[in-house]
Structure 1
């Protein structure tokens, strides 16, 4: 006998009250696709680490808690990245893989070492973007990681959050560079 208070088993805790979370159906569908892709032969999968890193889900009431899903996605991305690295190393060799990773790292470093306040495109006068001082602070830390090996973890980069300001940095550009940093970090782990 079931009633409205019966709870079904879910892979993630759900939000309550007015808090929103990721729509469970979309998360479940994506996770099923990710599992199938990971179980496919290397190179044949339809999803990769980048697709996992950039997936987005609609927010709904009683959705899956965002932090729990994001943590699981981070682990899935790590698994895909390790597999992609191994596959690339077996096909093209270490020299090619390191060369590609070094090139991307240099592109990121070139962006992050621009003068403060000019590292990314700014949004229009009436729009909000990421706070410039906060992004520049994180950019400096990542640049020191790339140049000098200052400790920074993939999780720190994944979880960075910025407040908003008028005429701030373009969210799209900043997020793309942070994604590239994660890609570089996972390539050399």
Structure 2
């Protein structure tokens, strides 16, 4: 976890507020270096990190890439701790169960995979979410190549009565968790 500052957004482009990012990264570094199993920060906490957008803030893409690498490190540690706690068989069964739940959700018919936001509310574009989830079905069923970074980078335009954002985001988070759980330690 480098203490080197990130490039700054220029012109009219906004970036992440520097103080928020720096504070979060310092907290993450401290939590990672503690080397005990006390839960101070988790891979899920890293995944859920959000920062205010401001003029002249840190460029978003380099910060997001760094957060992805940090999440990977925390996930590897959590996987190792879980294996110590429940054994390899228990860990494999837990990952398999989560993967099966996700696969059942994303294998539903196109247009019916997630709850709708509501007629007067905006949600994620259904066709775009279905396209991404089709690729994830290929990952789970056929071993098609999809990386955690690709899932993290998935972004969807909005539409009236689209898929409920929180439900789609929760499933994508679960996909990343499964991917990180089965990725060998580097």
Please classify the TM superposition score into its range, dividing by the shorter chain length. over 0.9
* 2:156 is the counterpart of 1:162: yes
Per-residue displacement from partner, 1:99-121 (whole Å, max 9, x unpaired)? 11111111100110111111111
**1:146 corresponds to:** 140
**2:172 corresponds to:** 178
Per-residue displacement from partner, 1:140-173 (whole Å, max 9, x unpaired)? 1101111111111111111111121111111111
**2:101 corresponds to:** 107
Structure 1 position 97, deviation (Å) = 0.8
**1:3 corresponds to:** none
**1:31 corresponds to:** 25
Mapped partners of 2:4, 2:144: distance in 1: 39
Give TM-score scaled by structure 2 length: 0.93
**1:68 corresponds to:** 62
Once the two structures are superposed, the pairs formed by residues 6-85 of structure 1 within 5 Å of their partners are 11-85=5-79
Mapped partners of 2:62, 2:14: distance in 1: 13
Give TM-score scaled by structure 1 length: 0.92
Mapped partners of 1:84, 1:166: distance in 2: 39
Deviating 4+ runs (over 4 angstroms)? none
Q: Count matched residues.
A: 181
Q: Is the 8 A contact 1:122 1:169 kept in 2?
A: yes
Unaligned runs of 5+ in 2: none
Q: Give the stretch that moved more between structures: 126-135 or 26-35.
A: 126-135
Largest Rg, 1 or 2: 1
Matched residue of 1:93: which SS?
helix
**1:116 corresponds to:** 110
Matched residue of 2:54: which SS?
strand
Structure 1 position 10, deviation (Å) = 5.7
